[in-house]
Structure formats: structure tokens, C-alpha cells
Structure 1
Amino acid sequence: MKLSRATVRRTRTLGTATAIAALLLTACGTDDNTGIPGAVDFSSDTIECGPPGTLLASGSTAQANAMEVWVNVYQANCPDAQVNYKPTGSGAGIQEFLQGTTAFAGSDSLLSPAEVEQSRSVCRDGGRAIHLPMVAGPIAIGYNLPGVQDLVLDAETLARIFNSEITAWNDPAIAELNPDADLPETRITPFSRSDGSGTTDNFTSYLHGAAPDAWPYEPDKNWRGKGGQSADGSSGLVGMVQQNEGAISYFELSYAHQNGIDTVLIDTGAAEPVAATVENASAGIASGTVIGTGADLAMELDYTTTAERAYPIVLVSYEIVCDRGNDPETVELTRAFLRYIASEEGQQKITRIDYAAIPDEIITQVRDRIADLG
């Protein structure tokens, strides 16, 4: 059965967190987007606690809300452990990991060959950094255009908007995709990340893969489009969209839902435009394949899928850790925490806050890699 545009209109209201303040995730920088739904239960009957201690990690803002849930659950059930995850962005998180200051990094994009080589100086005993896919979900395109809901855009139009070639909301290219909408003359203000970001890397991978003529730039953590304005972190982009009529930007679906921001439906060439939902993101991720070698589980995604209900702007967010040669003072706690977030319970809890669980055939391999960490 095909979804109508009215059917796919998203729900705007989420519950508020019921966590005890002492258990809340310590967040630094501009991406303190706390406010996880009260429906998330912090109790657990399955956690195998690791040793007492403190675990430091940083990186991806895309997985910040998932980390908040995981940290709250782990600390509620393992009170002798403290996990501090700083949502500083993928680029900053990778650099901190490569400097040896964190136990693992969260990243929405793959390490470069040079970064993998650099990791050999941090990972002891001949180890190297590997990618463990741990959380996935859609990158939503949020916009502020009062009176216009269920806005439909395609890859080429998005590329031209974010490259400052389409500058008004009543442009013929947008009107053609939205024949029933009353589009205003309002100027379009595209906002991009000012910091190095895996979300930017994945969004530009989509633009370049699906509309290479309109977006000739190679995918990158750093924004390469022309014009527009910028803000730091996903929460910074959310604030700019909320404050500026005519604005458009990209951020994880959880940020859009928690802040009541309208999101774009994508015309992929399928029978119906595709909404940014967890279920549709899972369909998009299903076409991905593992391209890593050895213990590495790096994935390659298909940004040009035209499968029904497959949302194409998706990211897989990784935990970057040494396959062996981790810090002996924290490796057992690292293993215990990662074991929980890769567990069936850990994966299911984050589906309640707009993340897609990693497919079974992949997450079982992740669990094997965690068990072998040394």
C-alpha cells in the first residue's frame, strides 16, 4: 500500500525526559540536545557491568541522543562506572581519539587511510582503529516556511538550493515538485555546519551521488558549497532554522522531532515521495554493504536507491576503537559499555528516539568484534 503525503506527515510532539538529573549525560559544546522521551525506560535486566571507573569518549553529534540513552541506562544499572561522551563532532572526536585522550570516538564518516595509519601509534601491540557500526538513521532536511507542509524536493533541487543557485521558495523547480502548495517569494537561506561533521559528509555524499552535475564537489566533513550561512553543530543548525523564516538545513531526525521542525519529503523516483522516518531509513540502509577488511566493519551505502519507501539520505554512525592494544586501564569498561549498546536491548531502546537499529546481520558481527577487543 502506498503512503499518501498526508499519511507520512510526521508527529511533532514527543514526551519529556524523566531521568534523574544526576544520571543525565554530561554534554559539552553547542550540541546539548537533551530531552529524550519519557517513554525510554532506563531500567535493564540484561546489562553485564564492567569494572568501576571512568570512560571518556567524544565525537558525532548525530549519535548524541542515542548516547544519552545508553549512558543513562548503563550508569543507572552500573553505578560504579561513569561514561562521559562529548558531542564535539566527528572530526574533533577522531582527532581526540588519535591523540590518545579518549577510549573511543563516535564518527559518522570513515577514517581516511592516513588516519588509520596514524591510529597504529595509539593502538598498542600492533593494533589499529576499526569501525563498529552502532547506530543509524535518516538525515532530515528541516525547513521554516509557515503555511507549507509536506514539502517535496529531489536531489538536484536540494543541490541547487544548498549551492545557492535556487534562491527563492517560489522557484519553478520547487513549484513543479509541489503543484498544490502556495509557495511564497521568501528568500531561501541554506545553513550548513561550520565544524567538521560526519553529517555533512553523508549529506554531501547523497548530493554528489544522486545529483553529480548539480553538486560537483567531492563529499567531505567540511562544507564546500557556495554561499549560504553556517552554524556550529546540529543544535546550532536547528536554532538557525527556528529563528529564520525561509531557512533550510540538515540534521538528524531526532533533532527535528524534538524541536518541532518540518522536514522535507524526498522525490527519489519511487511512486511516492519518501519521508524521513526510522522505518524508511532502515529500508535505505538495507542496501548497504560491509567494505572493511579484517576486524573492520566499515560500510558503503547506496545514496541513489529508488526502492519504494527507502529514504536515501541516511548515515551509519560508528564507534572507532582499537581492535587490540586499547588502554589496559579502560579496556574492560570499554568492552562492557560497547557490549551493552550493541545488545538487542541497547539497539531497541534507541528506536524510540528516531534512530534505526543496525541490521541483525551486521550487529552480530559488531558483537563478535567487541568480544575480541584487547
Structure 2
Amino acid sequence: MFHRVGFIARGLAGAFAVMTFGTAHSSGLTLTGGGSSFAAPLYRAWGAELHRQTGLSLTYRSVGSGEGQKLVMAGAVDFGASDLPLAASVLRTRELYQAPTAIGAIVVVINVPGVASGQMKLDGPTLAALFDGAITSWADPRVRALNPGLRLPDLDVLPIHREEASGTSQVFSSYLHAVAPDWKAGMWGDGSEARGNDGVAASVRQSVGGIGFVEYAFARRDRLNTVRLKNHAGQFVAPGKAAFTSAAFSMDWTHADHYAVRFLEAPASQAWPIMSATFVLLPIHPADRAKAAAVKTLFRYALKQGDDIARDLDYVPLPPSVKDTVLSGWP
């Protein structure tokens, strides 16, 4: 669960955020959404900005992508939120529409004494070995070889990963498998589990020797130290807006099945290698047409007018042509 967003200007807090947005014609309606914690900072910030303009309320539960898929399939929410795109066969069987809302980056965060943010460089196989327990000390020769001149302590590595079904975990595991083919989902070494991006961020901050993976907004909020990663082009890249945008705009959206772009293969030389679109899932044949129209109002506003908020939170807005296609296909 996303416990708090540290953007004071937006003044949001709490385990369950009630956000208000819509139009005057929607006054009195309450929408429900749930799922992705990856997208929680963005949906909360969009809601805060729109609060003054609307009479439509939304209760959004940040419970993880897997739960978001279950909730919308069970008809328990007006829309689900997931970082795991569903296959076309599932969308067809369940009569769901899947649409991206923004693109975010997953970053690796560490708590290693004497190592500042951006100083450590890691490649895929070394990162996989840190998470599966093959590397147990930060002074391991494989880490040293990538970081000549960097003073690394002989300190135990404490890998931290998500405990619940998570889109962030799925994307990160897919990356590890792509760069280290022997890696399989669930091959976590001796370490600890935490719930949500928020929980992983807190655990890394509190664990000397810790390493974890979180959506970038959580790393920036908690001022966690990030690492440089070797990308598909062989370059060591630091996380940031330029690297995220480079990845997002170098991808082929036209031929992606239901917008399921595979960002792990972004070809641009300065592209950040671990990114994901975040998606909304909604019924094609909703029981409540008024609520379905209100959901469309919400995301039309977000896609047409929410880019500055997305950028402030270090997400990358969708390319304009993708937004147009998403909205034109909305049921």
C-alpha cells in the first residue's frame, strides 16, 4: 500500500486516498479504482490537481497490479490499474479494454556506506547475482571490476523485493531474465520482503547493505541512492528524465499488441533499460453507464491536460499519437 507521497505541494497522505475530480454534471458520483502502486503517485497527483474543479470523487486503492486485475474482473471496481499488460485472449474473454496512461521507470536503489547516488555502476548479470544470492558481499570482485576506484565495503548484500503480486516485480524480473538468462522469477536470495514500492523504499533506507527496486518517484521522494545500469546499447546510464524520455520515444507503439510495448529492448543509446507503461483496465460493457462515462472523463482530462503533473513526478507522458489512439478506441 502506498502510505504517503512526499510532494508537499500536493498535500496527499494516507493509505487510502479519496480524490475528487470530474465535472459538475458528475456531482455525487463516486468512482472506485484499484491496483498498481507504481502508478499511485501519478493518480494521486492528478486527483489533487483536479480536486478544485470537480464534483466527482474517486477512491483509489493501491494494492498491487495483480490485485487490480482481480478487482476489475470481479466487477469490484470501476477500473483496475496494472503495470502488467493482459494478453489479447484474456482481454477478449473478460471483455476488458486496456489502455496505457503514462510511462514510468523502475530503478535500483542501494544503501551502501560511502557510495553516493549515481556512483555505482552495475550490469545485468551482476545485478541478477546480487538479487539471487550469488554475490553476498559488496566487496565482491564482480562489483569491484565494474567500479574501479570506488571504495566498496566488505558488507553483506541484503536484497529486498516485493512480497505481493506486483507489476513492478514482474517488469524487474523480466529485465533480469533478459540480461541474465539463467534468472527465473522468484530467484530471490536471502534478504527480506516488503509490501508495495513504498515498503521496499523504506526497507532499503533502513537496511545497511540493502538493495531493492522501486518506481523512480519513490526513490526521489525518499532521497535514495540509485545506481547506473548498462543498457541495451551497452552504455551505463543514470536514471533521469532524459534517459526515460529517450526510451519511451524510441519504441514502436504502432505494432504493440494492446499497447504492450517491451521497453527492455529500447534501442536508443541513452535509454534507461527498465521501464513500463502503466495501464487502466475497464469493462467494455459496464453495468453503470454513468460511471463508465465519468471514468472516461477522468482519463481524458489526465491524457489531455495532465502531462506537466506526470513530468513533475518523473513519469513520461504518452506520445501524442498514442493518446489519440487510446481515446478514440475507448468504449
- Confirm or deny a common fold (TM above 0.5): yes
Displacement, 1:367?
2.1
User: May I ask how many residue pairs the two structures share in their alignment?
Assistant: 321
Match of 1:212 among 170, 176, 181: 181
Residue 324 of structure 1 and its aligned partner are, at CA, apart by 3.9
Partner SS, residue 181 of structure 1: coil
Q: Is contact 2:263–2:276 with CA below 8 Å preserved after alignment?
A: no
Percent sequence identity is: 26
Partner of 2:52: 76
Conserved 8 A contact 1:50-1:332: no
Change (3 A) 1:16 1:322: closer
Rounded Cα–Cα distance in structure 2 between residues aligned with 1:227 and 1:19: 38
Q: Say if 1:279 and 1:77 are closer, same or farther in 2 by CA, change over 3 A.
A: same
Deviation by residue 1:194-231 (Cα, 9 ceiling, x = unmatched): 00000011111111112213x1x25xxxx443433211
Query: Alignment partner for residue 134 of structure 1, among 96, 101, 109?
Result: 101
Q: Is the 8 A contact 1:49 1:336 kept in 2?
A: no
Aligned CA distance change for structure 1 residues 263 and 19 (closer, same or farther; 3 Å):
closer
Instruction: Map 1:161-172 to 2 at 5 A.
Output: 161-172=130-141
SS of the residue corresponding to residue 38 of structure 2 reads coil
Match of 1:178 among 147, 154, 157: 147
Which of residues 319, 323, 333 in structure 1 aligns to 2:280?
A: 319
SS of 1:142's partner is strand
1:18-167, aligned counterparts within 5 Å? 18-19=9-10, 24=12, 27-28=15-16, 51-52=26-27, 53-78=29-54, 80-112=55-87, 115-116=90-91, 119=94, 128-149=95-116, 150-167=119-136
Letter in 1 for 2:314: D
Quick check: 1:17 aligned with 2:8? yes
For structure 1, which segment, 254-263 or 140-149, has the greater mean C-alpha deviation from structure 2 after superposition? 140-149
1:366 & 1:164 partners in 2: Cα distance? 42
Residues in 1 aligned to 2:158 and 2:101: alpha-carbon distance in whole angstroms: 33
Which residue type is aligned with residue 153 of structure 1? L
Question: 1:326 deviation in Å?
Answer: 5.3
1:171-209: CA deviations, max 9, x gaps?
111111110200000100000100000001111111111
Give 1:26 deviation, angstroms. 6.0
- Using a 3 Å threshold, how does the CA distance of structure 1 residues 364 and 260 change in structure 2: closer, same or farther? same
CA deviation after TM superposition for structure 1 residue 279, in Å: 2.2
Please report the TM-score for the alignment, with normalisation by the length of structure 2: 0.89
- CA shift in 2, pair 1:362/1:82, >3 Å: same
Deviations 1:291-345 (A, max 9, x none): 556xxx32221414453210011111001112344532411211111111111x2
Unaligned stretches of 5+ in structure 1? 1-13, 33-43, 120-127
The answer to whether the 8 A contact 1:152-1:264 is kept is yes
Aligned position for 1:338: 299
Deviation at 1:15, TM superposition (A): 8.0
- What is the CA-CA distance between 1:76 and the residue it aligns to? 1.7
Aligned counterpart, 1:349:
309
Structure 1 outlier segments of 4+, above 6 Å: none
Q: 1:183 to 1:269 in 2, by over 3 A?
A: farther
Q: How does 1:189-228 map to 2 (within 5 A)?
A: 189-213=158-182, 215=183, 217=184, 223-228=186-191
How far apart in 1 are the matches of 2:197 and 2:300?
27
User: Residues 347 and 90 of structure 1: is their aligned pair in 2 closer, same or farther, counting only changes over 3 Å?
Assistant: same
Q: Look up the equivalent residue of 1:69 and give its one-letter code.
A: A
Provide the C-alpha distance between the structure 2 equivalents of 1:339 and 1:155, rounded to a whole number of angstroms: 38
Question: More helix by proportion, 1 or 2?
Answer: 2
Hey, what's the Cα distance between the residues in 1 that align with 2:38 and 2:51? 21
Partner Cα distance (2:113, 2:261) in 1: 37
Describe the shift of the 1:276–1:238 C-alpha distance in structure 2 as closer, same or farther (beyond 3 A): same
1:41 aligns to what? none
Q: Which amino acid aligns with 1:76?
A: R
The separation in 1 between residues aligned to 2:13 and 2:221, in whole angstroms, is 17
- The amino acid of 2:259's aligned partner reads A
Q: How much does 1:107 deviate?
A: 0.4
TM-score, normalising length: structure 1? 0.79
- C-alpha change, 1:361 and 1:243, in structure 2 (3 Å) is same
C-alpha spacing 1:16/1:65, structure 2 compared with 1 (3 Å): closer
Q: d(CA) in 2 for partners of 1:340 and 1:26?
A: 24
**In structure 2, distance between residues paired with 1:210 and 1:50:** 51
1:363 Cα deviation after fit: 1.6
1:148 aligned partner, one-letter code: V
1:112 offset after TM fit, Å?
Answer: 4.4
Offset of 1:265 from its aligned partner? 0.5
Would the aligned equivalents of 1:157 and 1:173 in 2 still touch at CA under 8 Å? yes
Asked if 1:255 is matched to 2:218, the reply is yes
State the AA in 2 paired with 1:352.
D
